[in-house]
Structure 1
Amino acid sequence: MKKIISFGVLSLCLLSLVGCGNQKSKESAGQSITAVGSTAMQPLVEKASNDYDKGKNINVQGGGSGTGLSQVSQGTADIGNSDIFAEQSSGVDKNKIDDNKDAVVGMAPVVNPSTGVKNLSSEQLRKIFAGKITNWKQVGGKNEKITIINRTEGSGTRVTFESTALKDSKVIKSQSQDSNGAVEKVVAKTPGTISYLSLPYLQNNTKLQVVSLNNVKPSYSNITNNKWKIWSYEHMYTQKKPNQPVKDFISYLQSKKVQDGLVKDAGYVSIHDMNYKALANGDVVKK
């Protein structure tokens, strides 16, 4: 009888262990977070996910803001990283998703150093992208043809740059790249090129020349005071009822510790330091 009882107890224990193991496996699987979208935001989310010690498996992917907004609205991603408001992206139902602002990113025109240009007026920049200025000597640079590198459709960086720097003026067709990283490489190795990048990609970058506009530099202080106007929020969109791991990760990014540390160290601007706020309709107002 004792042997039968022992075997029964052992069987129950084994079943219990198997059940616990399956439960832990399910819980572990539930910890996975997929964040997709903006390549301007990608470095920040990747660094934050590496520092976030909560046993979460956070999968960070690029693809552009349009991709992030589309996937989170369809429920195929937990987080849609975006440089633009959902209202600025066609085909996305903003009523299905919630906005979480986690940082501000500045963007700037960049050129290959061969151009000999370090500053442009806003009008000169618009004329270059409109194809009306075609040689760098026309703006005080070297006698070298201007080659424009744009971002592909769906890029939040492109939407922000065209709306704030180019004032939605017409842009000529040109070669395009699908990420900040790709733009960085092409401009660095191609003489005469001009494009635009988010500032985190320009930290300690000696291969590119950042271009000031109207003698204003894209500094941290100038962004917070809206003297440098090419900036946008870094949004992390979620479904209306995200799971707790997603909520916790976003709260971590919004915490004072991360905003004052990682956000600034990675080349972004803390949402707490902004003296101005951007609205979905494109207006920028003082707080």
Structure 2
Amino acid sequence: MALAMIGVAVTTVAAVYEFVLKGRKRLGYRVQMDTTVTDVVQSEHAGPLRELREGGDPLAKPTLVLLRIENNGATFIDTHDYAVLDDSLVGLRVRFPGRRVAGMVVTELSDDYLRDSFTNGGGFAADGDLIELPRTPMNRSAHYKILAALERADGSAGATFDPPEVIGGIKGGRIVETQSRTGTPKRAIALIGFLVVLVVAQLLVFLRSNTTTPMDCATGRLKVVGSTAFAPIVREAAESYRQLCPGAEFVIDMRGSGEGLQALHTTADANTLAFSDGEKPDGMPALLPRPIAFFLFTMMTNAGTGVQDLTPEQIQRIYRGEVTNWQEIGGKDVPVRLISRNPGSGTRAALQRRVLGGVREPGSNSDDCRTLDPGAAQGVLRCARDSTEDVVRAVAETPGALGYAELGAATGHDDLTLVRISGHRATVSEADHGAYPFWETEYGYTLGEPDAHSLAASFLRYLTNQVGADIIRANGDRPCADLANPAICQPA
């Protein structure tokens, strides 16, 4: 009876978390200002407001509107989440009945990455009484604002207008009008009261139960090796698993995909789990792969190179040593320095396979990434580092440097420029549809099929379900199940 009550309580809490706390994807809009400015324009203090024009003629009865669009849900909204056709550049439309849009401008971006949506690729335009907004990827709490000048439509009368109408949808979510409020909303108070009742009920059931171990918890000791790019996700997920299952112990020693696979192959330890950026090499038949995540990588340069976009052909020429100064391909007069991962790195293997056309990177000729080693032949300076973090740090500190790393590790550094490839940014949508080439499947490898009740099997399930999958998303990557074409995650 007690176990049944625990099951009901856990299921209820999970449902509340999934549909209330976690929530479906939710895009909010708010009209922060909608005011008639005719009297202001006619005032002697109007100044530049008298210059509001449309097609060279002053606006006769203008209004100013400040529109705010925000991600007020609990999950990331990507370009493919907008309920439009795949080839549409427009994600949302806002209609102003009785008025037409004379002009508009973006006045505020919560994050600089939003800028590309309004400056590249189209989708931001005015059409009669409509403002068209692009399919903008938005992190949680991200927002942008549009200031628009509108003119009363011909033949309309009166000083008021019907409220704006937002046209569009979010897949698996909704678009809602948001408002600034003071105090605690009644729905939030009701939700808190409901959760308090649930927590108290679950506590009473827990105290009367003879078991304290959650379902699917495993105990024991698991050694985790492999990809340094995947290491932040593993550490966060292991800590979360430990809090849920106190009997589990993790030893995390991640030094690279190749080294991790070799360690598992050599030790043949069933209590070792190896993560690899891409598939294992030949000669390791006992290692069994499981697709875990769709992993994005990015080329990155030191901010002083002046380069933001490269074609695969340009990247291949750079790594062949045919480009020695950034000004040769439109950048600044700075020597090219290449900072790479050491051989055995899954990130390096992904670059060679996905971007360099299967060609192996040449070896290093510098230890400090600034000067050629004694006796090294003249040419492009090349150095290598052991981990993703080391590469990111070296590129940020080295003038003229070009490197590569997992997207999440490279994001958010002012002294780095994330390089587009043939105009395409490193996004799940671009990679999923074949436009962006630099990605790889992250695999978890075990020695054969692990026991279903082992810590290795339980932790792999944890990574691909619920909390573990959310941790993967929060780090900028995606569980394979999230893709439009999940089959591309599967081993060949």
- Settle same-fold status: TM greater than 0.5: yes
Aligned residue runs from structure 1 range 48-87, under 5 A: 48-52=237-241, 53-55=244-246, 56-74=248-266, 75-76=268-269, 78-86=272-280
Query: Could you tell me which residue of structure 2 aligns to residue 285 of structure 1?
Result: none
Contact 1:78–1:242 (CA under 8 A) maintained in structure 2: no
Query: Could you tell me which residue of structure 2 aligns to residue 44 of structure 1?
Result: 233
Contact 1:131–1:171 (CA under 8 A) maintained in structure 2: no
Aligned residue runs from structure 1 range 269-284, under 5 A: 269-276=478-485, 277-278=488-489, 280=491
Query: Could you tell me which residue of structure 2 aligns to residue 252 of structure 1?
Result: 462
Pairwise CA distance, 1:212: 0.3
Query: Could you tell me which residue of structure 1 aligns to residue 206 of structure 2?
Result: none
What 5-or-longer segments of structure 1 have no aligned partner? 1-29, 282-287
Structure 1: which 4+ aligned runs deviate by more than 6 Å? none
Q: Return the alpha-carbon distance in structure 2 between the equivalents of residues 38 and 131 of structure 1.
A: 28
The structure with the larger Rg is 2
Alpha-carbon deviations, 1:83-119, whole Å to 9, x = none? 1211xx25x41x2121111111111111000101101
Q: Return the alpha-carbon distance in structure 1 between the equivalents of residues 292 and 484 of structure 2.
A: 15
Amino acid at match of 2:294: V
Alpha-carbon deviations, 1:14-44, whole Å to 9, x = none? xxxxxxxxxxxxxxxx611101011111111
SS in 2 for 1:107: strand
Pairwise CA distance, 1:220: 2.5
Query: Could you tell me which residue of structure 1 aligns to residue 425 of structure 2?
Result: 217
Aligned residue runs from structure 1 range 84-95, under 5 A: 84-86=278-280, 89-90=281-282, 92-93=283-284, 95=285
Q: Return the alpha-carbon distance in structure 1 between the equivalents of residues 252 and 386 of structure 2.
A: 16
Q: Return the alpha-carbon distance in structure 2 between the equivalents of residues 166 and 275 of structure 1.
A: 26
Which protein is richer in helix relative to its size?
A: 1
Amino acid at match of 2:472: V
Q: Return the alpha-carbon distance in structure 2 between the equivalents of residues 102 and 66 of structure 1.
A: 17
Query: Could you tell me which residue of structure 2 aligns to residue 34 of structure 1?
Result: 223
Contact 2:294–2:489 (CA under 8 A) maintained in structure 1: no
Query: Could you tell me which residue of structure 2 aligns to residue 8 of structure 1?
Result: none
Residue in structure 1 matching 2:322, options 121, 126, 132: 132
Contact 1:65–1:83 (CA under 8 A) maintained in structure 2: yes
Amino acid at match of 2:393: K
Pairwise CA distance, 1:280: 4.7
Query: Could you tell me which residue of structure 2 aligns to residue 177 of structure 1?
Result: 385
Q: Return the alpha-carbon distance in structure 2 between the equivalents of residues 279 and 238 of structure 1.
A: 16
Q: Return the alpha-carbon distance in structure 1 between the equivalents of residues 329 and 438 of structure 2.
A: 21
Are 1:268 and 2:477 an aligned pair?
Answer: yes
Q: Return the alpha-carbon distance in structure 1 between the equivalents of residues 438 and 425 of structure 2.
A: 11
Instruction: Give the TM-score of the pair, scaled to structure 2.
Output: 0.48
Amino acid at match of 2:325: N
SS in 1 for 2:298: strand
Query: Could you tell me which residue of structure 2 aligns to residue 148 of structure 1?
Result: 338
Are 1:239 and 2:431 an aligned pair?
Answer: no
Amino acid at match of 1:45: V
CA RMSD of aligned residues (A): 1.8
How many residues of Structure 1 are paired with residues of Structure 2 in the alignment? 248
Q: Which has the higher contact order (CA 8 A, sep 6+)?
A: 1
Pairwise CA distance, 1:73: 1.9
Q: Return the alpha-carbon distance in structure 2 between the equivalents of residues 237 and 171 of structure 1.
A: 26
